[in-house]
Structure 1
Amino acid sequence: MKKEKMKKNIVLVIISLGLSFQSYTMACSGFCISNTSHVLVGNNEDWKNPYTKIWFESTSQEKYGRVYFGFDDFNPQGGMNTKGLCFDGFATKFKKVKNSLGKPNYKGGNLIDYVMSTFGNVGEVKEFFEKYNLSFLENAMLFFADANGNSIIIEGDTIISKTDKYQIITNFYQSEEKGDNISCERYKLANQMLSSSKEVTIDLSKRVLAATHQEGEYPTIYSNIYDLKKGIVYLYHFHNFQDEVVIHLEEELKKGNRKIDLPSLFEKNYAFEKFKENQIK
């Protein structure tokens, strides 16, 4: 590594599956952009918890190695595995899931870790989720992308596949809002930037994340850009895109399973320290 509001029962189900989504009143932004040479996924994690973490799970005969990002509950908010599959979770408004209610519930423990340790592409992920009751996604969506340039948004009853050079996700249901009816300003700004550029670069990804970051009570706590073909993560802390940490997943996994305080990888930031202080009070 080098510098460069849910019902109680739904909450319990989500936690047992290794999922943890912040309140719908908060906001996160993500996208996948690709061409024949590059596949990049960008994400802004917006929330009020300053205690962010990174943890590594080693490769084994049965499991892909993976890196996760999240908070001090160690429920993955996002991550990538050694096959170039990545994911992130997005909170959204309550919407009852109906179409999969007759299917079995997943009972294998941590759902996200199972998916990320077992599957290498979006097609496998889609097939897996189509087998199960997805009522745990009544307040949330999952976003997956792979090194082939494919990505999907799992809304619950609807799975939306990437059909162009990019796919964007924020905190609304794209099955309900389309085209001129989309109200999310972060989505519209990201769409404008991605549609007007032929680039598939770290620089463009960084510009989109910078343009869509949040400040105030629920700021962008960390951001990452996944290079899915190269197995690299570009990491940024507290919407400071000048201070960059680069994670080469295969190299980091050689050091074994471990947990890291994400802020410890960066130079001290006055704005972050004041924000953290205010959360403690």
Structure 2
Amino acid sequence: MWSDGRDSVFANNEDSPIGDESVFTFVPASAAGYGYFYMTFPYLAEPFMAGYPQGGLNEKGLAYDITATPLVNQVEVVIPADTPYSGGNIMELVLKKAATVDEAVALIKKYRASENIRRAAGVSEFRQMQALLADSKGNAAVVGVGPDGELAVTEKAGKFRVVTNFSLAQPGNSAVTEKARYDTATEALKGMKKAPVSAMRSLLAAVHVEGMASTLYSTIYDLRSLDITIYNFHDYEYAKKLDLKTELAKGAHSIPLAELFRDRPLFALRSMKEMAASVRSLQEKYLQGQKELDACPKTAK
């Protein structure tokens, strides 16, 4: 995220295992709250994260995205018994109800967890994730679990804020120690006097990842104009541009990422999906073989 107080830009690479299918969903304003859009992976095998809003933007120019932050020594988020339930997903609630970073942080601290996760497991998703929040006024902050189990807030210092997959609240306890992407992005943003789409695109390209887990899509939001720029599978030469106001005026609807980029088939994406499917098939066969082997009667020597 970068802002000079006049322009505010939010950029994200979504890195995930090959085969995860992304869907962009638009929800118009109503008596319940602001209009907004968010991205999900509806078909994830992990039950709590299937359909979890990975990031999004609302009509007030509030944006967020989350990063996984596994810890070496797990710290659970403290949820006092009198903490109210959120009534739904906590990050979608942020998009629906918050216009500023301060309002978003207050909501997260109030509820501490999405209701379905808390009721099912008694924990908060912030135990292993952090959320970068930014608004049209240029404010930004990162929310994650601190070493004491309380939700810690890391404010923006200067014009920008960078997050990757190590915990800003607990860097010494983070299972992810790689900081090359963080350092690369930080150095690039330090020198920026303006942050047009072209500059942010170059930055996203510099820190994208490839392999069985790849950058599946990238987004750039102008938090003032509400323009959305989307790139598919780290193909930074071809973008789709959406206007949030125009999309919300169409009513509630969802757009699969594959449909949005149907006119730009990518050989690399197709071949990586085929490879990922083959690897998963081999893994499943191996695990099934292990189960059958374990079930066989053991012969005494």
Q: Does the pair score TM above 0.5?
A: yes
In the alignment of these two chains, the number of paired residues is 247
Secondary structure, counterpart of 2:9 in structure 1? strand
Which secondary structure does the structure 2 equivalent of 1:90 belong to? strand
**Matched residue of 2:274: which SS?**
helix
Q: Does 1:173 align with 2:167?
A: yes
Structure 2 residue aligned with 1:225: 220
Change (3 A) 1:132 1:261: closer
Q: Does 1:138 align with 2:127?
A: yes
The answer as to 2:218 corresponding to 1:260 is: no
- Are residues 1:234 and 2:213 paired? no
**Is the 8 Å Cα contact of residues 35 and 200 (structure 1) preserved in structure 2?**
no
| Distance apart, 1:196 and its partner CA | 2.2
1:275 maps to a residue whose letter is M
2:62 pairs, out of 82, 85, 90, with: 85
Secondary structure of the residue that 2:161 maps to in structure 1? strand
SS of aligned partner of 1:104? coil
1:270 matched residue in structure 2: 267
Residue of 148, 155, 162 corresponding to 2:144: 155
Alpha-carbon deviation of 1:106? 2.8
Q: Is 1:122 matched up with 2:122?
A: no
Change (3 A) 1:273 1:114: same
Letter in 1 for 2:204: L
Question: Are the aligned partners of 1:51 and 1:71 in contact in 2 as well (CA < 8 Å)?
Answer: yes
Q: Which TM-score applies when normalising by structure 2? A: 0.77
1:187 aligns with one of 159, 182, 185: 182
- Residue identity in the other structure for 1:63: G
Aligned partner letter, 2:105: K
| Pairwise CA distance, 1:105 | 5.2
Letter in 2 for 1:118: K
Moved over 4 A (4+): 98-103
CA RMSD of aligned residues (A): 1.9
Q: Rg bigger for which structure?
A: 2
The answer to whether 1:246 aligns with 2:241 is yes
TM-score when normalising by structure 1: 0.82
For the residues of structure 1 that align with 2:42 and 2:36, how far apart are their CA atoms? 18
Identify the residue that residue 208 of structure 1 maps to in structure 2: 203
Q: What SS does the aligned partner of 2:110 have?
A: coil
2:81 equivalent to 1:106: no
Q: Please tell me whether the aligned partners of residues 58 and 253 of structure 1 are also in contact (alpha carbons under 8 angstroms).
A: yes
User: Would you say 1:64 and 2:43 are equivalent positions?
Assistant: no
* Percent identity between the two aligned chains: 30
The 1:98/1:138 distance shift into structure 2, 3 A limit, reads: closer
**Deviation per CA, 1:40-73, whole angstroms, max 9, x where unpaired?**
0110000113411111111113321111112234
Structure 2: gaps spanning 5 or more residues = 44-50, 114-122, 146-150, 279-301
Q: How far did 1:101 drift?
A: 4.5
Q: What is the alpha-carbon distance in structure 1 between the residues aligned to residue 81 and residue 40 of structure 2?
A: 32
Q: Distance in 2 between matches of 1:107 and 1:247?
A: 30
Gaps spanning 5+ residues in structure 1: where?
1-31
Deviation at 1:260, TM superposition (A): 1.3
Tell me if structure 2 keeps the 8 A contact 1:103–1:133.
no
Q: Which residue identity does 2:185 align to in structure 1?
A: A
The code of the aligned residue for 1:194 comes to L
Q: Which segment is superposed worse, 216-225 or 261-270?
A: 261-270
Query: Aligned partners of 2:249, 2:181: CA distance in 1, in Å?
Result: 38
User: Is the 1:102–1:133 contact (alpha carbons within 8 Å) kept by the matching residues of 2?
Assistant: no
Report the Cα distance in structure 1 between the residues aligned to 2:103 and 2:77, rounded to whole angstroms: 23
Q: Hey, which of these two has a bigger chunk of helix by percent?
A: 2
Contact 2:90-2:108 at 8 Å conserved across structures = no
Q: Distance in 1 between matches of 2:57 and 2:194?
A: 23
Partner of 2:6: 37
Q: Distance in 2 between matches of 1:168 and 1:217?
A: 24
Distance verdict in 2 for CA 1:98–1:70, change over 3 Å: closer
